[in-house]
Chain A
């Protein structure tokens, strides 16, 4: 392309055109591949069932809180100390159900769903014998892997938004809405609160990027979809347990789940970015390391299924 810019003559345009066309075609393939991957992912019954379960969590929390407080009393003190964060504020402001639902689903439900999708990405195709057909398309393994990863990330975002949207609807139906008191005690308008909820949902989705990359690597290591899903979810649980053992505090800042709950810092006034920055940096690091490992494995692997 640069040569065309330098020699701006009609003669120079000749050799450029096929290159541009070739690039366009490749781009089209990438998008086509991505689109087909995303549609296959979201058309699966399994994916829809996972999303349904995720959507049910806020409903359960909302109804439980409603029943608990229907006699006019507030949440007991135990709720604040032991339950998920933000639980005590739900009765006063339905918007807090969004935060509570995300805080409740982020440690287990969301990553488990992502682990299933990511683990299934390559190994599931290999298991079903469809991987070789995918590779027949002139897109290349790298782009297939990227498309798989992108569709997994799309699932991360959609899953988080499903939880948030379901929580918002349930919260609006069961509880009053209004100005939001941040956890610092200051007040923001409901509109600002909604914006923050959206920002939080995006941050929560981004928190799952690292796990998705780990799942993708595991998925390239085996030809059994079930094994990859189980390994990813097992790893997730192991990491979560490691994160709670105080003697391991030296390695805990490097575990991908360590800063997950930092999204609550977006509800402070002013924002506290340190932990969110660490979280996003850690996710990017996991994505780079495990994503490139998955690439190294997938592009050199013998595909015989």
Chain B
């Protein structure tokens, strides 16, 4: 800028070419905006291209690699996106929570409970997108934090102690975890001792998700290696798992496995109906170095309300089940009157319950297995379902993108990751 342009104060002494100069100046902000828009648009596109080149590997070798993986220490950010195709799972979660607390006749409704209670909090993970931070140092030290706006929910397992801390309400939840808690929990076969096993049972890391998926593999499943990918800046193989049977709502499961360490980094479950993934869990950032020891230290801050495990009746009675993330909707395997119809991906669980029970679970919230659903919830759920009839009589089908459930009028519930037709067929066969 020449200093003398300040002298030209009014329009009288306009030079020729002024208009062009004006246009040239206005071109600058336009150009800046254009460059910014192009950068925003192009950079992700450029970054997405170019899968890494890795030596060929068979599916068998890749699964072995996963099994042989000795990753005990890692920290990183995990992004979980779940889309079960429900109108509002948050609302359902509340209903289910209310049903849980009320159903067992506990004196404390869920509204009086601590917001740091893992049961209530982890339910949130079953819908929407969440960013988690995980840190693991061997079997005794784990940490899981759910990032929220200006708040964080942390679940910390350090040796014999399990702490949960909700910074938004400044409340903490404490439980002791005996050394053999994990095995005992597993032996009991339930996720009933939720706080104790919370860290074990929430498939928050891709590894756990992958293990769940591999467990289901058998004759009914095709497993193959489907190229490579870059996940969290690391080269990874993609393991593709597909059901061989038709009738399943599961289209494919993709697991990205770190080429170096064999640690699963990303898990994607796509429905057979196509569209967005139902469950997508992946590291956005991962570091295999040992996390700092202070990461696992927790002392409740002064003035924080601390709820001890067992403070609330209802915890011990075992009514509370931990929502197993989104794929937890696979069913209540260990409950009393459960029969399995079919096998592999097309397995349908038959639950003999009294009418009105288990609806919330059937609808995918998977929490209120045994609780009375309030009347308004019943109405709400009725509105969600489709009426169907068949040899089994008549009933209502509740559909999500992954799990469908059929509740017959006599109170039997059929749940499975299968299409509506397959569900009705299974119900007919069961009669």
Contact = CB atoms under 8 A, between A and B. Distances in A.
A304 B169 contact: no
B187 interface: no
Contacts of A77: 115, 169
The contact size tier of chain A is: 35 or more
A186 B2 CA distance: 56
Contacts of A184: 133, 145, 152, 154, 167
Contacts, number: 135
Contact of A187 (B170, B297, B303, B305): B297
A304 B170 CA distance: 59
B30 to A, nearest CB: 8
A139 B10 contact: no
Contact of A183 (B25, B29, B152): B152
B46 interface: no
Judged by DSSP, the binding face of B is: mixed
The contact size tier of chain B is: 35 or more
Interface stretch (A40-48, A59-67, A89-97, A116-124): A89-97
B10 A143 contact: no
B383 interface: no
A178 B303 CA distance: 12
Given A264-B149, A303-B9, A186 B297 contact: yes
B36 interface: yes
B170 A89 contact: yes
B33 A141 contact: no
B10 A289 contact: no
Interface string B9-42: 1110000001001100110110011001000000
A139 B6 contact: yes
A261 interface: yes
Contacts of A139: 3, 6
B6 A136 contact: yes
A183 B6 contact: no
B301 interface: yes
Contacts of B166: 80
Interface string A276-295: 00000000010011101101
11 contacts: A80-B115, A184-B152, A186-B295, A261-B149, A272-B133, A289-B33, A289-B36, A290-B29, A300-B21, A300-B25, A303-B10
The 8 closest A-B pairs by CB, nearest first: A85-B150, A92-B303, A80-B169, A181-B301, A264-B150, A183-B167, A293-B29, A296-B25
Given A93-B301, A299-B25, 16 more contacts: A74-B305, A80-B115, A85-B149, A92-B304, A141-B6, A143-B1, A182-B167, A184-B145, A185-B163, A185-B167, A261-B150, A285-B36, A289-B32, A299-B5, A300-B25, A303-B10
